[in-house]
Amino acid sequence: MFVENWRWAGVPFYLRSGKRLAKRTSEISIQYRDVPFMLFRTLLSDTLEPSSLILRIQPNEGVSLRFGTKHPGPAMDIRTQSMDFSYYEAYGDGAPDAYERLLLDVVIGDATLFPRTDAVEESWRFVDRIVEQWSRARASRLPSYDPGSWGPHEAIEMMAADRRQWRRP
Instruction: Indicate yes or no: pTM above 0.85.
Output: no
Q: How many CB atoms lie within 10 A of CB 82?
A: 10
User: How far is 105 from 115, CA to CA, in rounded Å?
Assistant: 13
Give pLDDT, residue 149.
92
**How many Cβ atoms from other residues are within 10 Å of residue 56's Cβ?**
20
In terms of Cα–Cα distance, which of 89, 99, 82 is closest to 29?
Answer: 82
Distance CA 71, CA 81 (A): 10
What are the extents of the domains in the chain?
26-161
Phi, psi of 54 (to 5 degrees): -115, 120
Adjacent-strand bridge partners of 64: 54, 84
pLDDT bracket for residue 39 (50, 70, 90)? low
Count of all residues that appear for the chain in the document: 169
Question: What does the pLDDT look like over 74-130, one tens digit per residue?
Answer: 877 788 899 999 988 888 876 677 788 889 999 999 988 889 999 999 999 999 998
Burial of residue 9 (CB within 10 Å: 0-12, 13-18, 19+) is exposed
Q: Which of 30-39, 51-60, 124-133, 146-155 has the lowest mean pLDDT?
A: 30-39
3-state SS of 64-87 is EEEEEEECCCCCCCEEEEEEEEEH
Q: Which of these CATH numbers, 3.40.50.300, 3.40.718.10, 3.40.1180.10, 3.30.360.10, describes 26-161?
A: 3.30.360.10
Bond into 59 cis (ω within 30): yes
Mode of pairing for the β-strands spanning 26-31 and 52-58: antiparallel
- Across the range 57-78, mean pLDDT stands at 86
